[in-house]
Amino acid sequence: MSKITDEKELLKKLADFGLGEKESRVYFALLPYRDIGSSKIIRATGLHGQFVYDALEKLEEFGLAKHVIQNGRKKFSANSPKRILSLLEEKRLSAQSVVQQLQNRFAGAHEQDFEVLQGVNAFVAHQMAMIESVPEDSTIDVISGPNDQYFTILGDEGAVEEYEHIRAKKNIRIRYIGANSQIERFKRWERERKHWTYKVFPGLSTGLVDIGIWHDNVIFNIYGTPLLSFVLTSKEAADGYREFFETLWNFSSK
């Protein structure tokens, strides 16, 4: 791929992050320099001067550019491209706030819903969305299943550390009911994972399915080919399954 093609692709990707075409071109022109004058930026981009001035102002609002005054004239520099990650995080947090406010007004907020997810990407994306949205100080209850696959899949997709970081930060506990064959793994995880505990139910088989009971969801994960997740969204159903879990928990032991 040629350098020109590379630059075009980068400009398109910058536009995907919320920058207009002109802001992207000006930011791209700033990257190799420190304390550069606007006239040089105009020559580098080929844009009209007013477009460049407007773009610089916008980039400074985004935190992607800065300026200093030298001999009475503004000199511009780019801030680190890592700032783009912060912009995305700010948008995500803003979106969460808007969604929560809209959800409170949603007429169907307490209705039941059912969703089927297929494949590893859908599974990981949904699990990360769930751990992000579950209330702080919640408890996730899990019944059986080949649980090593759960964390193996998250780990293979580079998500397990972020998942555990969010869970620990939000003080989200996990209680797991498993089988005798899983005891050694459970002992290790209880030492290594914060807010994670287990019990063993006599005669329980690990099988291919686990049942996750969240705040207002019940998730059935089937670790076949392809991986399938059946998501039932219902506070009443989640509360019912949680009562069933408590019964099993009381009859289980370590």
Least confident of 69-78, 198-207, 234-243: 198-207
Q: Where are the domains of the chain?
A: 3-84, 110-250
* Fold observed for domain 3-84: Arc Repressor Mutant, subunit A (1.10.10)
pLDDT in tens, 43-89: 988 999 999 999 999 999 888 899 999 888 999 998 888 888 877 77
Is residue 168 helix, strand or coil? helix
C-alpha–C-alpha distance, residues 198 and 201, integer Å: 10
Neighbours of 12 (CB within 10 A): 11
Q: Which are the contacts of 222, defined by CB distance < 8 A and separation ≥ 6?
A: 208, 209, 228, 229, 230
In tens, the pLDDT along 138-149 reads 999 999 876 668
What's the pLDDT tens digit per position in 172-202? Answer: 999 999 988 888 989 998 998 899 999 999 8
CATH number belonging to domain 110-250? 3.30.870.10
What is the rounded average pLDDT of the residues 217-244?
Answer: 93
Which residue is listed with tokens 């420190």? Answer: 34
| Contact (Cβ atoms closer than 8 angstroms) between residue 168 and residue 140 | no
Strand partners, 69: 74
Amino acid at 157: E
Burial of 1 (0-12, 13-18, 19+ CB in 10 A): exposed
Question: Do the domains at 3-84 and 110-250 have one common CATH topology?
Answer: no
Instruction: Reply yes or no on whether the pLDDT at 241 is more than 90.
Output: yes
- Is the model's pLDDT at 96 over the cut of 80? no
